[in-house]
Chain A
Amino acid sequence: ELKVEQNPLFLSMQEGKNYTIYCNYSTTSDRLYWYRQDPGKSLESLFVLLSNGAVKQEGRLMASLDTKARLSTLHITAAVHDLSATYFCAVEGGSQGNLIFGKGTKLSVKP
């Protein structure tokens, strides 16, 4: 059974600081997704990582994938309040290639 673990689950950080969210998964997969969810809202796709060594950047967020280590990271550079949200990673797996989601990391960026 494919398991996806994120850590930390809660992250409180100050504006201007850097931090990394980790996503580990239990079986071989080379497709990983990051989503953002604002309170009371739906999930917004951030990054699609499709191969080992893939790196994608959008603004202050950068995501990478190491399929050999079964690890993806979401790095936050110089955080701003607008980045406060819950971030989910999801790995493609399951019987139909469905997405298996982590529990999410709730990020709070404070002035």
Chain B
Amino acid sequence: ETGVTQTPRHLVMGMTNKKSLKCEQHLGHNAMYWYKQSAKKPLELMFVYSLEERVENNSVPSRFSPECPNSSHLFLHLHTLQPEDSALYLCASSHGTSGTMASYNEQFFGPGTRLTVL
């Protein structure tokens, strides 16, 4: 595997279900990100992890719970979602957030998980 991978690619879940999205990066990066992309708001940053520590949480509802066990893996745990949470969830990675490991913050994106909440 190369680059950034995400599983599953498609997910349909009911509002009472619990599921998890997985992201893995094979680029040796130290920062990982979750974004939500929907028709209403093209790219919303949800969470940022740098060296496995959460450094930013953009007022995301608690029904989304991230986990970063190591610098290569990132999870997004989902529970009691709402239909408006249906979107494309994108994971990205970079060498580091600004001022840390790299001089700039080019992010590399995974293919995304298309989530539908019924």
Contacts and interface: CB of A to CB of B under 8 A. Distances in A.
A96 B42 contact: no
Contact of A101 (B42, B55, B104): B42
Contact of B107 (A41, A99, A103): A99
Interface size class of B (residues with CB under 8 A): 20 to 34
B11 interface: no
A96 B50 CA distance: 10
Contact of B42 (A42, A50, A95, A104): A104
Interface size class of A (residues with CB under 8 A): 20 to 34
Contacts of B104: 31, 48, 50, 92
Interface in A21-60: 31, 33, 35, 40-45, 48, 50
A108 to B, nearest CB: 17
| Interface of chain B: mostly helix, strand, loop or mixed | loop
Nearest to A48: B106
Contacts of A103: 42
B99 A97 contact: yes
Contacts of B109: 35, 42-44
B80 interface: no
B35 to A, nearest CB: 8
Interface of A: 31, 33, 35, 40-45, 48, 50, 88, 92, 94-99, 101, 103-104
CB-based closest 10 A-B pairs: A97-B98, A101-B43, A96-B97, A43-B109, A42-B109, A42-B111, A103-B42, A104-B42, A97-B97, A31-B104
